Structure 1
Protein backbone atom coordinates (compact mmCIF):
# COMPACT_ATOMS: atom_id res chain seq x y z
CA UNK A 1 0.00 0.00 0.00
CA UNK A 2 1.38 3.38 -1.01
CA UNK A 3 0.30 6.56 0.79
CA UNK A 4 0.90 9.58 -1.41
CA UNK A 5 -0.24 13.12 -2.04
CA UNK A 6 -3.42 13.31 -4.09
CA UNK A 7 -3.26 14.78 -7.58
CA UNK A 8 -5.77 16.43 -9.89
CA UNK A 9 -5.96 13.14 -11.78
CA UNK A 10 -7.11 11.44 -8.56
CA UNK A 11 -10.14 13.70 -8.15
CA UNK A 12 -12.66 11.48 -10.00
CA UNK A 13 -11.84 8.59 -7.64
CA UNK A 14 -11.86 10.97 -4.66
CA UNK A 15 -15.39 12.07 -5.58
CA UNK A 16 -16.45 8.41 -5.88
CA UNK A 17 -15.13 7.79 -2.36
CA UNK A 18 -16.95 10.87 -1.07
CA UNK A 19 -20.20 9.57 -2.56
CA UNK A 20 -19.58 6.14 -1.04
CA UNK A 21 -19.08 7.78 2.37
CA UNK A 22 -22.30 9.77 1.95
CA UNK A 23 -24.21 6.54 1.32
CA UNK A 24 -22.64 4.98 4.44
CA UNK A 25 -23.60 8.08 6.45
CA UNK A 26 -27.17 7.83 5.16
CA UNK A 27 -27.00 11.12 3.26
CA UNK A 28 -26.41 10.25 -0.41
CA UNK A 29 -28.30 13.27 -1.73
CA UNK A 30 -26.22 15.75 0.30
CA UNK A 31 -23.16 15.57 -2.00
CA UNK A 32 -23.43 18.52 -4.38
CA UNK A 33 -19.69 18.90 -4.95
CA UNK A 34 -18.44 18.50 -8.53
CA UNK A 35 -15.13 17.66 -10.17
CA UNK A 36 -14.93 21.22 -11.45
CA UNK A 37 -15.36 22.62 -7.95
CA UNK A 38 -12.77 20.21 -6.56
CA UNK A 39 -10.28 21.06 -9.31
CA UNK A 40 -10.63 24.77 -8.63
CA UNK A 41 -10.69 24.44 -4.83
CA UNK A 42 -7.81 21.98 -4.61
CA UNK A 43 -5.64 22.92 -7.57
CA UNK A 44 -6.70 26.43 -8.56
CA UNK A 45 -4.98 29.73 -7.84
CA UNK A 46 -5.76 29.55 -4.11
CA UNK A 47 -6.07 25.88 -3.06
CA UNK A 48 -8.12 25.40 0.10
CA UNK A 49 -7.75 21.66 0.68
CA UNK A 50 -5.20 18.92 0.38
CA UNK A 51 -5.57 15.17 0.30
CA UNK A 52 -3.60 11.98 0.43
CA UNK A 53 -4.56 8.64 -1.03
CA UNK A 54 -3.91 5.00 -0.26
CA UNK A 55 -3.09 3.21 -3.49
CA UNK A 56 -2.36 -0.42 -4.22
CA UNK A 57 -1.61 -1.81 -7.70
CA UNK A 58 -2.90 1.40 -9.32
CA UNK A 59 -6.23 1.43 -7.42
CA UNK A 60 -7.08 4.04 -4.80
CA UNK A 61 -8.76 2.36 -1.83
CA UNK A 62 -8.94 5.31 0.56
CA UNK A 63 -8.14 8.95 1.18
CA UNK A 64 -7.79 11.63 3.80
CA UNK A 65 -8.94 15.12 2.88
CA UNK A 66 -7.84 18.00 5.07
CA UNK A 67 -7.52 21.77 5.27
CA UNK A 68 -6.09 24.34 7.67
CA UNK A 69 -8.05 26.24 10.25
CA UNK A 70 -7.14 28.65 12.97
CA UNK A 71 -8.27 28.37 16.57
CA UNK A 72 -8.17 31.49 18.69
CA UNK A 73 -7.50 29.20 21.65
CA UNK A 74 -4.98 26.79 20.10
CA UNK A 75 -3.51 28.41 16.98
CA UNK A 76 -2.97 26.61 13.67
CA UNK A 77 -4.87 23.32 13.40
CA UNK A 78 -5.25 20.75 10.65
CA UNK A 79 -8.88 19.83 10.04
CA UNK A 80 -9.53 16.29 8.86
CA UNK A 81 -12.58 16.72 6.66
CA UNK A 82 -12.91 13.08 5.67
CA UNK A 83 -11.09 9.82 6.28
CA UNK A 84 -12.52 7.33 3.81
CA UNK A 85 -11.66 3.71 3.16
CA UNK A 86 -13.72 1.86 0.59
CA UNK A 87 -15.98 -0.72 2.18
CA UNK A 88 -14.12 -3.74 0.77
CA UNK A 89 -10.86 -2.61 2.41
CA UNK A 90 -12.13 -1.49 5.84
CA UNK A 91 -10.29 -3.20 8.66
CA UNK A 92 -7.15 -3.73 6.58
CA UNK A 93 -5.06 -0.98 8.21
CA UNK A 94 -5.52 1.61 5.46
CA UNK A 95 -7.36 4.01 7.78
CA UNK A 96 -4.50 3.83 10.28
CA UNK A 97 -1.95 4.65 7.55
CA UNK A 98 -3.99 7.59 6.27
CA UNK A 99 -4.77 8.92 9.75
CA UNK A 100 -1.16 8.77 10.88
CA UNK A 101 0.08 10.42 7.67
CA UNK A 102 -2.46 13.22 8.16
CA UNK A 103 -1.13 13.72 11.70
CA UNK A 104 2.41 13.83 10.29
CA UNK A 105 1.39 16.48 7.73
CA UNK A 106 -0.07 18.61 10.52
CA UNK A 107 3.02 18.25 12.71
CA UNK A 108 5.36 19.04 9.80
CA UNK A 109 3.39 22.24 9.11
CA UNK A 110 3.62 23.38 12.73
CA UNK A 111 -0.02 22.72 13.62
CA UNK A 112 -0.89 22.37 17.29
CA UNK A 113 -3.35 19.55 16.71
CA UNK A 114 -5.98 18.02 14.48
CA UNK A 115 -9.74 18.44 14.53
CA UNK A 116 -12.51 16.36 12.95
CA UNK A 117 -16.07 15.20 13.46
CA UNK A 118 -17.59 11.75 13.82
CA UNK A 119 -21.24 10.79 13.80
CA UNK A 120 -22.44 9.62 17.20
CA UNK A 121 -23.76 6.34 15.78
CA UNK A 122 -20.55 5.44 13.91
CA UNK A 123 -19.17 3.07 16.54
CA UNK A 124 -16.41 1.61 14.32
CA UNK A 125 -15.01 5.09 13.69
CA UNK A 126 -15.39 6.15 17.33
CA UNK A 127 -13.56 3.04 18.48
CA UNK A 128 -10.82 3.68 15.90
CA UNK A 129 -10.29 7.24 17.15
CA UNK A 130 -10.29 6.13 20.79
CA UNK A 131 -7.21 4.01 20.04
CA UNK A 132 -5.40 7.35 19.57
CA UNK A 133 -6.73 8.74 22.88
CA UNK A 134 -8.79 11.25 20.87
CA UNK A 135 -10.98 13.65 22.83
CA UNK A 136 -14.55 13.11 21.66
CA UNK A 137 -16.43 16.08 23.05
CA UNK A 138 -20.05 16.47 24.08
CA UNK A 139 -21.77 19.79 24.16
CA UNK A 140 -20.81 21.35 20.84
CA UNK A 141 -23.48 21.59 18.17
CA UNK A 142 -22.66 21.76 14.47
CA UNK A 143 -23.91 24.87 12.74
CA UNK A 144 -23.89 25.83 9.08
CA UNK A 145 -25.36 28.15 6.51
CA UNK A 146 -25.90 27.15 2.89
CA UNK A 147 -25.33 29.82 0.26
Structure 2
Protein backbone atom coordinates (compact mmCIF):
# COMPACT_ATOMS: atom_id res chain seq x y z
CA UNK A 1 0.00 0.00 0.00
CA UNK A 2 1.13 3.49 -0.86
CA UNK A 3 -0.03 6.64 0.94
CA UNK A 4 0.06 9.97 -0.86
CA UNK A 5 -1.63 13.36 -0.96
CA UNK A 6 -4.99 13.22 -2.69
CA UNK A 7 -5.57 14.59 -6.19
CA UNK A 8 -8.69 15.80 -7.96
CA UNK A 9 -8.75 12.66 -10.11
CA UNK A 10 -9.13 10.62 -6.90
CA UNK A 11 -12.45 12.19 -5.95
CA UNK A 12 -14.80 9.61 -7.52
CA UNK A 13 -13.13 6.82 -5.52
CA UNK A 14 -13.01 9.04 -2.42
CA UNK A 15 -16.74 9.72 -2.66
CA UNK A 16 -17.31 5.98 -3.00
CA UNK A 17 -15.39 5.34 0.25
CA UNK A 18 -17.39 8.09 1.96
CA UNK A 19 -20.56 6.29 0.89
CA UNK A 20 -19.14 3.00 2.24
CA UNK A 21 -18.51 4.73 5.58
CA UNK A 22 -22.06 6.10 5.63
CA UNK A 23 -23.43 2.60 5.03
CA UNK A 24 -21.26 1.25 7.87
CA UNK A 25 -22.63 4.01 10.11
CA UNK A 26 -26.18 3.09 9.04
CA UNK A 27 -26.83 6.47 7.42
CA UNK A 28 -26.30 6.17 3.65
CA UNK A 29 -29.10 8.64 2.96
CA UNK A 30 -27.19 11.35 4.84
CA UNK A 31 -24.51 11.71 2.14
CA UNK A 32 -25.58 14.71 0.06
CA UNK A 33 -22.08 15.77 -0.95
CA UNK A 34 -21.42 15.53 -4.68
CA UNK A 35 -18.40 15.14 -6.88
CA UNK A 36 -18.90 18.73 -8.10
CA UNK A 37 -19.02 19.98 -4.49
CA UNK A 38 -15.81 18.15 -3.68
CA UNK A 39 -14.08 19.43 -6.81
CA UNK A 40 -15.03 23.01 -5.97
CA UNK A 41 -14.27 22.74 -2.25
CA UNK A 42 -11.01 20.82 -2.53
CA UNK A 43 -9.57 22.10 -5.80
CA UNK A 44 -11.33 25.39 -6.57
CA UNK A 45 -9.87 28.86 -6.08
CA UNK A 46 -10.21 28.62 -2.28
CA UNK A 47 -9.71 24.96 -1.24
CA UNK A 48 -11.14 24.20 2.19
CA UNK A 49 -10.07 20.59 2.67
CA UNK A 50 -7.18 18.28 1.96
CA UNK A 51 -6.85 14.54 2.01
CA UNK A 52 -4.50 11.63 1.83
CA UNK A 53 -5.24 8.35 0.09
CA UNK A 54 -4.02 4.82 0.53
CA UNK A 55 -3.85 2.98 -2.74
CA UNK A 56 -3.06 -0.61 -3.56
CA UNK A 57 -0.68 -1.86 -6.25
CA UNK A 58 -3.39 -1.42 -8.90
CA UNK A 59 -3.88 2.27 -7.94
CA UNK A 60 -7.26 1.49 -6.39
CA UNK A 61 -7.96 3.77 -3.43
CA UNK A 62 -8.67 1.68 -0.34
CA UNK A 63 -8.43 4.33 2.37
CA UNK A 64 -8.70 8.06 2.91
CA UNK A 65 -8.01 10.63 5.59
CA UNK A 66 -9.85 13.88 4.87
CA UNK A 67 -9.03 16.94 6.99
CA UNK A 68 -9.34 20.70 7.06
CA UNK A 69 -7.73 23.56 8.93
CA UNK A 70 -9.73 24.96 11.82
CA UNK A 71 -9.00 27.51 14.50
CA UNK A 72 -9.22 27.25 18.26
CA UNK A 73 -9.58 30.51 20.17
CA UNK A 74 -7.59 28.91 22.98
CA UNK A 75 -4.91 27.06 21.00
CA UNK A 76 -4.73 28.62 17.53
CA UNK A 77 -4.36 26.64 14.31
CA UNK A 78 -5.59 23.08 14.41
CA UNK A 79 -6.39 20.33 11.96
CA UNK A 80 -9.73 18.62 12.06
CA UNK A 81 -9.79 15.04 10.81
CA UNK A 82 -13.24 14.80 9.26
CA UNK A 83 -13.03 11.18 8.21
CA UNK A 84 -10.57 8.33 8.36
CA UNK A 85 -11.90 5.50 6.21
CA UNK A 86 -10.38 2.16 5.31
CA UNK A 87 -12.36 -0.18 3.12
CA UNK A 88 -13.92 -2.93 5.21
CA UNK A 89 -11.78 -5.75 3.81
CA UNK A 90 -8.57 -4.00 4.94
CA UNK A 91 -9.57 -2.84 8.41
CA UNK A 92 -7.22 -4.15 11.08
CA UNK A 93 -4.21 -4.30 8.72
CA UNK A 94 -2.46 -1.18 10.03
CA UNK A 95 -3.55 0.95 7.10
CA UNK A 96 -5.68 3.21 9.31
CA UNK A 97 -2.68 3.92 11.53
CA UNK A 98 -0.55 4.77 8.53
CA UNK A 99 -3.21 7.24 7.34
CA UNK A 100 -3.56 8.69 10.85
CA UNK A 101 0.23 9.03 11.12
CA UNK A 102 0.22 10.96 7.84
CA UNK A 103 -2.38 13.39 9.18
CA UNK A 104 -0.31 13.85 12.35
CA UNK A 105 2.71 14.61 10.15
CA UNK A 106 0.61 17.15 8.22
CA UNK A 107 -0.51 18.77 11.48
CA UNK A 108 3.10 19.11 12.55
CA UNK A 109 4.12 20.42 9.13
CA UNK A 110 1.43 23.13 9.18
CA UNK A 111 2.18 24.18 12.76
CA UNK A 112 -1.12 22.96 14.16
CA UNK A 113 -1.42 23.04 17.92
CA UNK A 114 -4.15 20.40 18.02
CA UNK A 115 -5.63 17.58 15.98
CA UNK A 116 -9.32 16.91 16.57
CA UNK A 117 -11.87 14.40 15.32
CA UNK A 118 -15.10 12.71 16.36
CA UNK A 119 -16.04 9.08 16.78
CA UNK A 120 -19.52 7.67 17.24
CA UNK A 121 -20.13 6.32 20.75
CA UNK A 122 -21.22 2.92 19.41
CA UNK A 123 -18.23 2.48 17.08
CA UNK A 124 -16.18 0.28 19.41
CA UNK A 125 -13.58 -0.70 16.78
CA UNK A 126 -12.81 2.97 16.06
CA UNK A 127 -12.80 3.87 19.77
CA UNK A 128 -10.37 1.04 20.42
CA UNK A 129 -8.21 2.19 17.50
CA UNK A 130 -7.94 5.75 18.82
CA UNK A 131 -7.36 4.64 22.41
CA UNK A 132 -4.57 2.32 21.23
CA UNK A 133 -2.94 5.39 19.67
CA UNK A 134 -3.05 7.14 23.04
CA UNK A 135 -5.76 9.62 22.09
CA UNK A 136 -7.99 11.28 24.64
CA UNK A 137 -11.70 10.88 23.84
CA UNK A 138 -13.48 13.66 25.69
CA UNK A 139 -16.88 12.68 27.15
CA UNK A 140 -17.69 16.23 28.30
CA UNK A 141 -18.40 17.89 24.97
CA UNK A 142 -21.63 17.62 23.01
CA UNK A 143 -21.66 18.15 19.26
CA UNK A 144 -23.88 20.91 17.92
CA UNK A 145 -25.19 20.93 14.36
CA UNK A 146 -27.68 22.75 12.17
CA UNK A 147 -28.74 20.93 9.01
CA UNK A 148 -28.98 22.69 5.65
CA UNK A 149 -32.73 22.97 6.17
CA UNK A 150 -32.27 24.40 9.66
CA UNK A 151 -29.74 26.94 8.38
CA UNK A 152 -32.25 28.15 5.79
CA UNK A 153 -35.07 28.32 8.33
CA UNK A 154 -33.01 30.03 11.05
CA UNK A 155 -34.05 33.63 11.69
CA UNK A 156 -30.87 35.73 11.68
CA UNK A 157 -30.77 39.24 13.04
CA UNK A 158 -30.75 41.60 10.01
CA UNK A 159 -27.53 43.13 11.32
CA UNK A 160 -25.85 39.73 11.02
CA UNK A 161 -26.85 39.46 7.35
CA UNK A 162 -25.64 43.04 6.79
CA UNK A 163 -22.28 42.24 8.40
CA UNK A 164 -21.79 39.30 6.06
CA UNK A 165 -22.90 41.06 2.90
CA UNK A 166 -21.93 44.60 3.60
Which TM class, normalised by the smaller chain length? over 0.9
CA distance in 2, matches of 1:78, 1:3: 19
Q: What is the TM-score when the length of structure 1 is the normalising length?
A: 0.98
**Which 5+ residue runs of structure 2 have no aligned equivalent?**
149-166
Please identify runs of 4+ aligned residues in structure 1 that moved more than 4 A: none
Correspondence 1:1-80 to 2 at 5 A: 1-57=1-57, 58-80=59-81
Correspondence 1:89-104 to 2 at 5 A: 89-104=90-105
Q: Per the alignment, in what secondary structure is the counterpart of residue 136 of structure 1?
A: coil
Q: Per the alignment, in what secondary structure is the counterpart of residue 71 of structure 2?
A: strand
What is residue 117 of structure 2 aligned with on the other side? 116
- Note the C-alpha offset of 1:46: 0.1
Q: Per the alignment, in what secondary structure is the counterpart of residue 100 of structure 2?
A: helix
Structure 1 or 2: larger helix share? 2
* Higher alpha-carbon deviation: 38-47 or 137-146: 137-146
- Note the C-alpha offset of 1:132: 1.8
Aligned length: 147
- Note the C-alpha offset of 1:139: 2.1
**Which 5+ residue runs of structure 1 have no aligned equivalent?**
none
State the Cα deviation string for residues 64-115 of structure 1 (Å, max 9, x = none). Answer: 0000000011111100000000001111111010000000000010001200
Structure number with the bigger relative contact order (C-alpha 8 A, sep ≥ 6) is 1
